[in-house]
Chain A
């Protein structure tokens, strides 16, 4: 974790700005439109780690794919009015060649499943070198040297040998290191890490998270860390965006989020996590399940599962409201303006 930049107005310049992002999917059998990402906004500052947390179906992965225009169209489409601004340019309006110059070069991405994201018929060295050849116009031999250097950087033993190995010859943890080496070969300003450790064992996860932290401070890039794991966010993010049902429901500096969760969904999620330091007891469960993206509930999308909800919540969706005197802490909940209503009804 690096020193958290304080997002005060006029202070550090925004590196990546997502504004009113709407990514919808036309579902099969004409069952309607899935509003997977529905008006999402956030900013990423240089050098920081921004965590995006949420459960399956909340829209966190589609958000990350939308940033690099990797959403397959059709069935998906990013609606007009959405803005993804990187260094003053709207990525959504960029012609394909200019977008390619950004993608994998200034903004890179690593995915959850390293086996399916690597090409099985090329050596890992070729795959790492590819981006350096395309974006930085390195010669083959220089790119190979760069690939070896990257393998060493990500902590792969015997990089001179490993460079000629194929993905199937590597363990899951090693493959994820190769993915990271591929993503970082052009020294991107932004790294999007989509569930980078979800498929890994816990001891290997710890290695990879430590590696990402180290590389971030060495290379000074900003990281968008997308995860379902509140534990990963607590240890590695400076700020957090919580998503539910295609919406941002809470944003806060990491400490504030864990000390004073404000949205009832964040509160419920934190209480539902089994803790290694807590005695055996019943876990807090959020009743019900995430609604379908084709039929988000009216009003606040969390109200059918919310222990505090009242009539207003079903009728009218709250905007993101500023929480008390906390800079950068917002929650999409009427409780922010009517805190006396925070009384459990069940």
Chain B
């Protein structure tokens, strides 16, 4: 059953005006440019991309932490963008978010207990802070502590407990482990996987690290310059990536194996600005595909099925590189 259905989501930021707001407006930043996907209940979609790809903006607009420019998000058949404030609050109980930065997302003047109790009070719920802490692997003694007394991993556990407190069905995990050390990162990833099993949670797992996503996601979508360029079941995308960008990303991950034999695809140049995306295929200036030609420079490739369930936005996705 589909729980989350995102259709043609667009978020453009108006261009800044030069000369203290008096000059000409700059080109709008097309942060998210027509993104569609669905997530079935109890599954995890990994949303992967580099900085500026728009992955975080997708997560935030879905929960209406930012208003989208256009598009539609259906959550359990409710049109999220059409709800008034009261009904939105009701729905927010079912959709939560865990942020990347466990330092910036906890109020430094609130104890862990206050932080966890606040959402319960807002939604008029009863819940035991001690049980929540236990569920995320923290001792009950942590209830009286302030964020500065906690390590990064412990803070992220509090962030997860806060999201869980209102018993949501769906959690946007926005880079939840990228600020953590590798040993602690493993603890938090395992915790997220355990909670999903126990509470039948649905995740949108946003990350820049393809190796991390491999350990949590059922399906993976890769974003580049505001667009999804490839989407497939996780096993598929890692075994047989189709888009040249996904192939390059996979090959660029440094593996903890000396003399790794894999072929490195080194991409030239930088990620272009989303205010001035290249014409045609947005990836064409950096694309290493041997078939790259004028068509790539002029005609944007649609996201199309290559094999059943495996979509890629490349004119030459079927061909070897």
**A positions within 8 Å CB-CB of B:** 55-56, 171-174, 201-207, 209-210, 228-235, 254-255, 258, 268-270, 272-278, 280-287, 289-290
Q: Considering the complex, which residues of chain B in the window 72-114 have a beta carbon less than 8 Å from any beta carbon of chain A?
A: none
In the A-B complex, list the 5 residue pairs whose CB atoms are closest, starting with the nearest: A231-B254, A286-B183, A283-B186, A55-B181, A201-B50
User: What is the distance, in angstroms, from B262's C-beta to the closest C-beta of chain A?
Assistant: 8
* B contact residues around A283 at 8 Å (CB): 186, 189-190, 215
Q: Which residue of A lies closest to B194 (CB)?
A: A282
* Complex CA distance for A289 and B153, rounded to whole angstroms: 8
CB of B196 within 8 Å of the partner chain: no
- In the complex, the number of residue pairs spanning A and B with C-beta atoms less than 8 Å apart equals 129
| Residue of A201, A204, A269, A286 ringed by the most chain B CB atoms within 10 A | A201
Q: Are B254 and A285 within 8 A (Cβ)?
A: no
Interface centre among A203, A272, A280 (most CB of B within 10 A): A203
A290 to B153, CA, bound (A): 11
Determine if B255 is an interface residue (Cβ-Cβ < 8 Å).
yes
- Other A-B contacts than A205-B254, A206-B266, 17 sampled, CB-CB below 8 A, are A56-B181, A201-B208, A201-B271, A203-B252, A234-B254, A254-B258, A269-B183, A274-B211, A275-B211, A275-B255, A276-B253, A280-B216, A284-B186, A286-B183, A289-B151, A289-B154, A290-B151
| Alpha-carbon distance A231/B254, docked complex (angstroms) | 4
Complex contact B267–A207 (CB within 8 A):
yes
A276 close to B183 (CB less than 8 A): no
Q: Name the residue on A nearest B238 (C-beta).
A: A276
Q: In the complex the two chains form, what is the Cα distance from A206 to B268 in whole Å?
A: 10
Q: Choose among B215, B238, B256 the residue that contacts A230 (Cβ–Cβ < 8 A).
A: B256
Q: Is the CB of A229 within 8 A of B254?
A: yes
Q: Cα distance A173–B266 when bound, in Å?
A: 14
> At the interface, yes or no: B182 with Cβ under 8 Å from chain A?
yes
Residues of B within 8 A of A (CB): 50-51, 151-154, 181-187, 189-190, 193, 208-212, 214-217, 234, 238, 248-250, 252-260, 264, 266-267, 270-271
| Residues of the B chain whose Cβ atoms lie less than 8 Å from the Cβ of A268 | 183
Residue ID in chain B nearest A253 by CB atoms: B258
Instruction: Check if B183 sits within 8 Å of A285, measured CB to CB.
Output: yes
- Show 16 A/B contacts (Cβ-Cβ < 8 Å), sorted by A: A202-B209, A203-B249, A203-B267, A204-B50, A204-B271, A205-B252, A206-B267, A234-B257, A268-B183, A269-B182, A272-B183, A273-B256, A274-B211, A280-B216, A285-B183, A290-B181
A277-B185 Cα distance, complex, nearest whole Å: 18
A253 to chain B, nearest CB (A): 9
Q: Which of B184, B209, B234 counts the most chain A CB atoms within 10 A?
A: B184
A273 touches B182 (CB 8 A): yes
Query: Looking across the interface, which residue of chain B has its beta carbon closest to that of A155?
Result: B268
CB neighbours of A278 from chain B (8 A): 214
Q: How far is the CB of A60 from chain B (nearest CB, A)?
A: 12
A206 pairs with B264, CB closer than 8 A: yes
* Selected contact of B214 from candidates A201, A254, A276, CB within 8 Å: A276
Looking at the assembled complex, report how far the CB atom of B30 sits from the nearest CB atom of chain A, in whole angstroms: 18
The answer to whether A274 and B212 touch across the interface, beta carbons within 8 angstroms, is yes
Instruction: Return chain A residues, CB-CB under 8 Å to B264.
Output: 206
For the complex, what is the distance from the CA of A272 to the CA of B211, rounded to whole Å? Answer: 12
A287 to B183, CA, bound (A): 8
Q: Which residue of B lies closest to A157 (CB)?
A: B269
- Nearest neighbor of B212 in chain A, beta-carbon distance: A274
**A280→B254 contact, CB < 8 A:** no
Contact indicator B258/A235 (Cβ below 8 Å) = yes
Distance in angstroms between the alpha carbons of A280 and B250 in the assembled complex:
16
CB pair B238 A272 closer than 8 Å = no
Give the shortest distance, in Å, between A112 (CB) and chain B (any CB): 14
CB distance B256 to A270 under 8 Å? yes
**Known contacts A230-B256, A274-B212; is A285 also within 8 Å of B190 by CB?**
yes
Give min CB distance, A202 to chain B, whole Å. 5
Least Cβ distance of B18 to chain A in Å?
A: 15
A209 to B217, CA, bound (A): 29
Check A201–B209 contact: CB distance below 8 A: no
Are B209 and A258 in contact (CB-based, < 8 A)? no
Report B-chain residues with C-beta under 8 Å of the C-beta of A234: 254-258, 260
Q: Check A171/B270 contact, CB under 8 A, given A203-B50, A285-B186.
A: yes
A277 to B256, CA, bound (A): 11
**A231 with B266: CB separation less than 8 A:** no
Q: Is the CB of A281 within 8 A of B215?
A: yes
Bound Cα distance A255, B254 (Å): 15
B183/A206 in contact, CB under 8 A: no
Q: How far is the CA of A234 from the CA of B254 in the complex (A)?
A: 8
| Option from A174, A277, A281, A282 in Cβ contact (under 8 Å) with B270 | A174
Q: Is the CB of B254 within 8 A of A274?
A: no
Q: Which residue of B lies closest to A282 (CB)?
A: B190
Q: Does A276 contact B211, Cβ atoms closer than 8 Å?
A: yes
Closest to A275 in B: B211
In angstroms, Cα B189 to Cα A274, docked, is 10
Q: Which B residue's beta carbon lies closest to that of A276?
A: B211
**How far does the alpha carbon of A230 sit from the alpha carbon of B260 in the complex, in Å?**
13
Q: How far is the CB of B236 from chain A (nearest CB, A)?
A: 13
Say yes or no: A206 contacts B252, CB within 8 Å. yes
Give min CB distance, B252 to chain A, whole Å.
Answer: 4
Q: Quick check: B51 and A201 within 8 Å, CB to CB? A: yes
Say yes or no: B255 contacts A231, CB within 8 Å: yes
Minimum Cβ distance to chain B for residue A154 (Å): 14
The answer on a CB contact under 8 Å between A276 and B210 is yes
Given the complex, which residues of B lie within 8 Å of A275, measured CB to CB?
211, 214, 255-256
Does B183 lie within 8 Å of A55, measured CB to CB?
yes
With both beta carbons as reference points, the residue of chain A lying nearest to B183 in the complex is identified as A286
Q: How far is the CA of A300 from the CA of B252 in the complex (A)?
A: 37
Enumerate chain B residues within 8 angstroms of A230, measured Cβ to Cβ. 182, 256
Contacts of A273 in B (CB 8 A): 182, 211, 256
